[in-house]
Amino acid sequence: MRLILLGPPGAGKGTQAARLVEKFSIPQLSTGDMLRAAVKAGSPVGLQAKAVMDAGGLVSDEIVVGIISDRIEEADAKNGFILDGFPRTVAQAKALDELLAKKHMDLDAIVELKVDENALLARIENRARETLAAGGTVRADDNPDAFKVRLDAYRVQTAPVSAYYASKGTLKTVDGMMPIDDVTKALDKVLG
């Protein structure tokens, strides 16, 4: 199973990806984790990424796609993988299409978890209030203001990726506002 999970921050991609990893025995590929691993391994593309990151720059699409290219060749990805957090832009989606075509690989599914952004924001605000009331510290990604910034960035950069796949007729959607187990059942149904 080769799968892309799309959806805004807080949509539940990580939760559902973890369940799919277990179900299909395939790795969840996070570009951040892959970048760190490539840098640590000292691979040629990892060394390129390290130079850019050490200079405080953003790693180019070319480098990220190179890291993905290397990663999907590893033994644990032989039966498939889940891309979560990639592609973030239409340019990355097109580069991924080219990469997979060169490797004679197809994606089995591109699934977007559709959510109500206002309800997501309310969830984040509630979680922050509950955490503070319990004497805890609010995680950076549970801060409502930071969440709004991430949501705005998603709308501008990543939401067009859904439209790109929809225009190709390959996008499937699942209501991400349902209870977690219901989202899992809907994903199972969409994935066959």
Identify the domain containing residue 101 by its residue range.
Answer: 2-115+159-185
| Cα 101 from chain centre | 21
Tens digit of each residue's pLDDT (9 = 90 or more) over 12-27: 898 999 999 999 999 9
Write down the pTM of the prediction: 0.83
> Across all residues in the chain, what is the average pLDDT?
90
Position 84 in a domain: yes
13 in catalytic set: yes
129 in catalytic set: no
Tens digit of each residue's pLDDT (9 = 90 or more) over 95-114: 999 999 999 999 999 999 99
36 in catalytic set: no
CA torsion angle 139 85 38 18 (round to 10): 70
Position 136 in a domain: no
Tell me which residue of 77, 81, 158, 152 sits closest to 112, measured CA to CA.
158
**Number of neighbouring beta carbons within 10 Å of residue 44:** 10
Position 129 in a domain: no
Catalytic residue among 19, 36, 88, 123: 88
Distance CA 68, CA 126 (A): 36
Position 29 in a domain: yes
88 in catalytic set: yes
Q: Write the CATH number for 42.
A: 3.40.50.300
